[in-house]
Amino acid sequence: MLEYFAKWKQAIFEVVQEELQDRKTIAAQVQTLGPDAIQRIEDFTNGGKMLRGGLVCLAYQLVQNTLNKDALLAAGAMELFQSALLIHDDIMDRDLLRRGDASIFNQYKMLSDEIEVEDSYHLGEALGICSGDLAFFLGFELLTLVASHNSKALELITLCSKELAYVGIAQMADVLRGAVTKKTDTNTDMGKFLEEDDPEKAVLQVYQYKTGRYTFSLPMMAGAILAGANNDLIKELELLGEELGVLFQLKDDEIGIFGDEAVTGKPRGSDLREGKKTLFYVYANEQLQARDKFTFLQHFGDTDAEDSEIETLISLLESSKIKEQVQAKSQELAEASRKRIQSLPQVNEEFQKLLLDFVDYNLTREK
Amino acid sequence: MLEYFAKWKQAIFEVVQEELQDRKTIAAQVQTLGPDAIQRIEDFTNGGKMLRGGLVCLAYQLVQNTLNKDALLAAGAMELFQSALLIHDDIMDRDLLRRGDASIFNQYKMLSDEIEVEDSYHLGEALGICSGDLAFFLGFELLTLVASHNSKALELITLCSKELAYVGIAQMADVLRGAVTKKTDTNTDMGKFLEEDDPEKAVLQVYQYKTGRYTFSLPMMAGAILAGANNDLIKELELLGEELGVLFQLKDDEIGIFGDEAVTGKPRGSDLREGKKTLFYVYANEQLQARDKFTFLQHFGDTDAEDSEIETLISLLESSKIKEQVQAKSQELAEASRKRIQSLPQVNEEFQKLLLDFVDYNLTREK
Can you tell me the distance from the alpha carbon of A245 to that of B350, in angstroms, rounded to the nearest whole number?
56
Span A17-46, pLDDT tens digits: 999 999 999 999 888 899 999 999 999 999
Can you tell me the distance from the alpha carbon of A323 to that of A265, in angstroms, rounded to the nearest whole number?
21
Question: Would you say B102 and B96 are in contact if contact means Cβ atoms under 8 Å apart?
Answer: yes
Nearest one of A207, A205, A206, A233 to A220, comparing CA atoms = A233
Question: Would you say A347 and A233 are in contact if contact means Cβ atoms under 8 Å apart?
Answer: yes
Residue A98, strand partner residues: A101
Question: Would you say A104 and A132 are in contact if contact means Cβ atoms under 8 Å apart?
Answer: yes
Question: Chain centroid to CA B71: how far?
Answer: 20
Question: Chain centroid to CA B239: how far?
Answer: 17
pLDDT at B122: 97
Buried/exposed A69-92: b ≥16 CB within 10 Å, e otherwise? ebbbbbbbbbbbbbbbbbbbbbbb
pLDDT at A189: 85
Confidence label for A367 from pLDDT (cuts 50, 70 and 90): confident
For residue B210, the chain A residue with the least C-alpha distance is A30
Q: What are the chain A neighbours of B193 within 8 Å (beta carbons)?
A: 31-33, 36
Span A192-236, pLDDT tens digits: 888 877 889 888 988 888 889 999 999 999 999 999 999 999 999
Residue A117, strand partner residues: B180
Interface test with B, best of A87, A113, A137, A304 (most B CBs within 10 A): A137
Report how many Cβ contacts below 8 Å link chain A to chain B: 245
Can you tell me the distance from the alpha carbon of B104 to that of B135, in angstroms, rounded to the nearest whole number?
12
Query: Are the Cβ atoms of A193 and B154 closer than 8 angstroms?
Result: no
Can you tell me the distance from the alpha carbon of B101 to that of B122, in angstroms, rounded to the nearest whole number?
19
Contacts of A224 (CB under 8 A, 6+ apart): A59, A60, A62, A63, A233, A234, A237
Nearest Cα of chain A lies from the Cα of B229 at a distance, in angstroms, of: 19
A28 inside 8 A of chain B by CB: no
Among B31, B172, B206, the residue with its CB nearest the CB of A170 is B31
Contacts of A313 (CB under 8 A, 6+ apart): A269, A272, A295, A296, A299, A300
pLDDT at B356: 95
* Region of residue A229 (phi > 0: left; psi between -120 and 50: alpha; otherwise: beta): beta
Nearest one of B278, B269, B243, B265 to B355, comparing CA atoms = B243
ipTM of the complex in this document: 0.92
Query: Are the Cβ atoms of A193 and B116 closer than 8 angstroms?
Result: no
Among B84, B188, B193, the residue with its CB nearest the CB of A32 is B193
B311 inside 8 A of chain A by CB: no
Which phi and psi angles does A186 have, rounded to 5°?
A: -80, 5
What one-character DSSP code corresponds to residue B31? -
- Looking at residue B180, its amino acid is V
Can you tell me the distance from the alpha carbon of B277 to that of B279, in angstroms, rounded to the nearest whole number?
7
Can you tell me the distance from the alpha carbon of B83 to that of B48, in angstroms, rounded to the nearest whole number?
9
Contacts of A187 (CB under 8 A, 6+ apart): none
Can you tell me the distance from the alpha carbon of A76 to that of B334, in angstroms, rounded to the nearest whole number?
43
Query: Are the Cβ atoms of B115 and A184 closer than 8 angstroms?
Result: yes
Q: What are the chain A neighbours of B76 within 8 Å (beta carbons)?
A: none
Question: Would you say B234 and B155 are in contact if contact means Cβ atoms under 8 Å apart?
Answer: no
Interface test with B, best of A30, A138, A187 (most B CBs within 10 A): A30
Span B224-246, pLDDT tens digits: 999 999 999 999 999 999 999 99
Q: What percent of chain B has pLDDT over 90?
A: 77
Residue A121 has pLDDT above 70, yes or no: yes
Q: B261: how many CB neighbours lie within 10 A of its CB?
A: 11
Can you tell me the distance from the alpha carbon of B60 to that of B80, in angstroms, rounded to the nearest whole number?
19
Residue A272 has pLDDT above 70, yes or no: yes
Can you tell me the distance from the alpha carbon of B45 to that of B34, in angstroms, rounded to the nearest whole number?
17
Nearest Cα of chain B lies from the Cα of A348 at a distance, in angstroms, of: 31
Span A291-306, pLDDT tens digits: 999 999 999 988 899 9
- Looking at residue B114, its amino acid is E
Nearest Cα of chain A lies from the Cα of B323 at a distance, in angstroms, of: 27
Among B116, B134, B191, the residue with its CB nearest the CB of A114 is B191
What stretch of H or E contains A194?
none
Can you tell me the distance from the alpha carbon of B327 to that of A162, in angstroms, rounded to the nearest whole number?
46
Which phi and psi angles does B227 have, rounded to 5°?
A: -80, 0
Nearest one of B52, B237, B234, B58 to B152, comparing CA atoms = B234
What stretch of H or E contains A214?
none
Span A235-264, pLDDT tens digits: 999 999 999 999 999 999 999 999 988 888
